[in-house]
Amino acid sequence: MAETLAEAVSRRRTFAIIAHPDAGKTTLTEKLLLFGGAIQLAGEVKAKKDRIQTRSDWMKIERERGISVVTSVMTFEYDGNVFNILDTPGHEDFADDTYRTLTAVDAAVMVIDAAKGIEPRTLKLFEVCRMRDIPIITFINKMDRESRDPFEILDEVEEKLALDTAPVTWPIGRSKTFCGSYNLADNTVRGSDTEIVGTKVNGPQAVASRLPENERDDFVNEVELAREACRPFDRQSFLEGHMTPVFFGSALRNFGVRDLINALGDFAPPPRDQVADVRTVHAAEEKMTAFVFKIQANMDPNHRDRIAFARICSGKLERGMKARLARTGKQLGLTAPQFFFASQRQLADTAFAGDVVGIPNHGTLRIGDTLTEGEALVFQGVPNFSPEILRRVRLEDAMKAKKLKEALQQMAEEGVVQLFSPEDGSPAIVGVVGALQLDVLKERLSAEYGLPVSFEISRFSVCRWISADKPEDLDKFVTARRGDIARDLDGDPVFLAQDSFSLRYESERYPAIKMAAIKEYH
């Protein structure tokens, strides 16, 4: 029997992996894909090689810096569920990209290095998840190495993140003796991930013999203590973002990844309801709705294309259907939506709520755009962060000013930089959250548009989106401060201040003006 829409939607799991660089996010992603058959059994070396050669090739800078600049999506099926992993750049200079990606997920896996515990970037990303009540599954990685005491790690998560922990598995052994996981809830044991089904045992004593003699008593005591002292897993609390189930493993050595993927299937929520301006949209509604959270150009240098990544919020997308673009009210033919499998892509004939599709286009779609089957609604909440660095772009060849303008407009539409056009007609200012974004801009302007540029310090260092309850208040401010006002890509006004002191001064002088550091697309 054909699957109903509700059934198809309920087996989608869309999540991101959040981690401090080096905790093992890439390794874990590869292992998950391996399980789903999305990549062939390639071995670690090959996987790593693939990562460097194919995924990163499109941008030299990424290779040079050894960081992942690209946010992409990878889809795979496992045990009846369809998983969409949304990858996020690890480097904090691309934080705005990561935050926007987190608006498109229903859950997150937090990877923690067992020796290092909670690191700064983990903490930051966790805070974004908390703002959005995204449920989090914790994976304590690298148990095959010298690590901290598991209780200590759990305490740290509870204290630093104010998050209840519920260890679902307990590590059998540590570093060299680490050999599997013990499920505290149902007394099943799994050695490596090659074991599809865990083995039921009578208690921790039954597996102690897998450990050297001097570690056996400790293991049995720890399991008993964990059972007594730790909270049992409560799914409701997890779904509300108060509790995290915890798994121990080693992505590199294939331990605990199967526990994790089963947990994603069993615990993680199906596609959530999404808030739009006029109403809340439910995932299993008949009609298709979606929003764009990421634009990526030139993913494949041979195609020079531009892909909008859209998260489907409700219904079913069918290839060839027409969608209404809320920003313009115009129709858009979805003739070639795509799915992504590791480094390959494929035409998507049908996709359901929870799925992420790439929509090739020539600049029609922008970050934050809503697509519907006709209904006039706009999804809320895709954020734009006020830039930390403002620069003027200096062109070496003044004859190419028009080309530069076009190129900057495109880069801004992709979300590489933000672009502000001053009201007084002076040259545009680019804004970025992290300095590496400027390097990306420079590299791409040169490589893709043949425009060598340099950057000049602007007299402004702070930027805020301005609004007022009464339009006349805003007009008054804009007229009075014309030299410090610019428009963003959408034509929304921003106030540019020399420093935070003058920002504070002006906001005290003009209390009717709201100055926002974050703009939500609308």
**Residues at the annotated binding site for GTP?**
87-91, 141-144
Residue (144 or 484) nearer to ligand G4P, CB: 144
Q: What are phi and psi of 142, to 5 degrees?
A: 65, 35
The SS3 assignment for 19 reads strand
Contacts of 262 (CB under 8 A, 6+ apart): 79
List beta partners, residue 181: 171, 190
Cβ contact 509:454 at 8 Å: no
* Contact call for residue 97 and ligand G4P (CB under 6 A): no
Q: Which of residues 73-92 bind ligand G4P (CB under 6 A)?
A: 90
Structure tokens at 411: 């880069």
* Contact call for residue 109 and ligand G4P (CB under 6 A): no
Residue (93 or 413) nearer to ligand G4P, CB: 93
Contacts of 361 (CB under 8 A, 6+ apart): 306, 307, 308, 332
Residue (19 or 408) nearer to ligand G4P, CB: 19
User: In whole angstroms, what is the distance from residue 155 CA to residue 164 CA?
Assistant: 9
- Closest approach, Cβ 66 to ligand G4P, in A, equals 8
- Closest approach, Cβ 24 to ligand G4P, in A, equals 3
Residue (23 or 299) nearer to ligand G4P, CB: 23
Which element (helix H / strand E) includes 101? helix 95-102
User: In whole angstroms, what is the distance from residue 224 CA to residue 203 CA?
Assistant: 9
CA torsion sign for 67, 56, 293, 422 is positive
Considering only CA atoms, which of 1, 13, 2 is closest in space to residue 352?
13
Residue (19 or 429) nearer to ligand G4P, CB: 19
User: In whole angstroms, what is the distance from residue 31 CA to residue 15 CA?
Assistant: 15
Residue (89 or 315) nearer to ligand G4P, CB: 89
List beta partners, residue 494: 465, 486
Identify how many contiguous H helices and E strands the chain contains and give both numbers: 15, 33
Residue (206 or 252) nearer to ligand G4P, CB: 252
Considering only CA atoms, which of 210, 206, 188 is closest in space to residue 198?
188
CA torsion sign for 139, 140, 144, 150 is negative
* Contact call for residue 195 and ligand G4P (CB under 6 A): no
* Contact call for residue 180 and ligand G4P (CB under 6 A): no
x/- letters, 5..44, toward ligand G4P (CB under 6 A): --------------x-xxxxxxx-----------------
* Contact call for residue 324 and ligand G4P (CB under 6 A): no
Q: Which of residues 243-262 bind ligand G4P (CB under 6 A)?
A: 250-253
Q: Would you list which residues are annotated within the binding site?
A: 87-91, 141-144
- Closest approach, Cβ 504 to ligand G4P, in A, equals 38
- Closest approach, Cβ 464 to ligand G4P, in A, equals 34
Residue (45 or 399) nearer to ligand G4P, CB: 45
Structure tokens at 75: 């889809």
Write the DSSP assignment of 360-415 as a string of letters: E-SS---TT-EEESS----B---EEEPPSEEEEEEESSGGGHHHHHHHHHHHHHHT
Q: Which of residues 112-171 bind ligand G4P (CB under 6 A)?
A: 141-142, 144-145
Amino acid (one-letter) located at 180: G
Residue (123 or 512) nearer to ligand G4P, CB: 123
- Judged by the rule CB under 6 A, the positions of this chain that interact with ligand G4P are 19, 21-27, 90, 141-142, 144-145, 250-253
